[in-house]
Structure 1
Amino acid sequence: MTPPHPDENAPSTPEGAPPTTTTTEESTIVSAPPLAFDAGTPSADCIADSAGGLTFDLDAPGPAEGDAPWSAALVLRRRGTEEAGEAEEVRLPLAPGAAGRLRAVLPSTVSLPEGRWDVHVAFGEDEPRRLVPGLADLRSLVDRRPGPSTSPLAVRIPYGTKHGNLSLRSWQRAPHAEAGDLTLDAVGITVRGTLYRVEDPAAWLAGAVAEARSRRDASVVRTAEVTADGQDFVFTLSWAALCEEWRGGPEVWDLWLRGPEGADPVRIARLLDDVADKKQVFTYPAQPVDAAYAPAQAGPYYTADNDLSVRVDERA
């Protein structure tokens, strides 16, 4: 079997979106049990709301009566920016909450550029310390269906890294094409989805086409007609079209929607749920394809940025 193509796992960033940084510090879905603040590493519980906001609750001491001036903050640091010499962070004030806990709120209206953000806590002038995940209530993220708006869609999903630390995965997209059900058969792949964050989704989708763009050669594009019903869309890409010029080895195609003239194309992605990293959770069997060059196989997958792509490779 041919080794994986070096670009297969690379993020595919929408045009105009800020670059993202991913590392091998992959997510785990299971939350760690809460720890007492003085037990070593402090923990934070997370509650998500349907608008894209997050609330953090920490088991940590607040100011006592008669104390000197006191301050505490939840510090979000965008991964990869420190190495580039341009450390990027967002500080959220921690205030006393119920049951002696501290609370910080990240509203959906606070800009959090796309990427992975490591979560810390800082008291006064002390160096920020990493947090570990406590309990996570992400029910509001499941089957989320945002309302009409043209402002960027904010998606923030907390997760535990493989080292047991708390981090956030953040996206900001406008427009956004949310991938729904994927149907695979011997002929091709049928993609159903929903368009968000445009003034008139039905008008935008009228005459829209789906594009599969080759990472090997950006000038190579395969298109498919889009059928729309309001803001919902569906299209089918044939395996034969994707394998027409295939000459062995892995080849990746990134899926986009192209709308009316003058509108920016939109990367198709799956963001609206509680899974921070889709690639290992949403998996699909490769379908056999009788390509002209050699027996091949093709199937969809989600990239490191949860964008939808199709991989063509030699059949085992």
Structure 2
Amino acid sequence: MAAEAEALAGLRILVCIAKADGKVTAEERDALRDAFAALTLPAGTTVDSLLAEKIDLDAQVKAIASPEARDAAYNGAYSMAWADGEASAEETALLERVRAGLGIPKERATLVGRVFSEAKDTVLPSNIKAIADPEKRAKEIREDVRKYSIFTAILGAFPIPGVAIATDLAVVGLQVKMVRDIGQYHGHKVDNRAAKSLLYGLGLGTGARIAVTNVAKLVPVFGSAFGAVASFASTWALGKVADQYFASGGKADMATLKDAFKKAEKEGKKEYDASKAAIEAKKKATAASIEALNADLKAGKISQAEYEKRVDALA
């Protein structure tokens, strides 16, 4: 199908960006592998084979025709280029080549860059009091995890045309806040850096993951549902793992947490199906507000930081 071909071209562009500086990080490789697992690829095509392949970047850019796919490909390319917090000269040059080839206006590219940059320093308030009673604490944490899972599912299905990474970054912001909240329920003081470290250790919130998510949404079988399910399941699993981590006093090792996350993510996908009515109800209640915020962000009336704070208030 045409859309799947565009998605594959978009992923090839991400591979080119990942290889631009001569090294592919484990994070980039894992994010690409996760995305490719969801696609129907030509026989013999794997992440490793593509990383070894000499890809014609310009040919991949030309293979993307629809406006939605072009926006998604550029958003993904930008996120991949800046995945480790800075873009090399080689990555910047390739990104500009992709922008020009896709016909993305410079002002829109500037907006994408602004949104990505502002999100780095956004800190959502977290003022949770510790709960000593295990049953009461578990109940509050369950309710919080469910609340954030439902709302991130809505954001995952609500991409802003031309700057879809804004909602992806907002999802990450809410996930970071949830981790901090869970830590505080357990009596731990958790700053943004510590919360992000847990996300990154699990492969969440990274530029590479955001890049792949943007492109994977182009697959017809998934579409916006891919973003909704992925956001819900990852938030659900993160909540479970964060609870386990802080219950251990922060002593659980990352290998154990990663295994727990994979199992919980599968559980989260089933929970998404069971929560569709609640998700739809919350979507109806917040859709107008989210659309207004999306319009204000795209018009430059509010910053990404302000956008994330207002989105948090809707959760």
- TM superposition score normalised by structure 1: 0.22
Q: Higher relative contact order by CA 8 Å / sep ≥ 6: 1 or 2?
A: 2
Larger strand percent:
1
Larger radius of gyration: 1
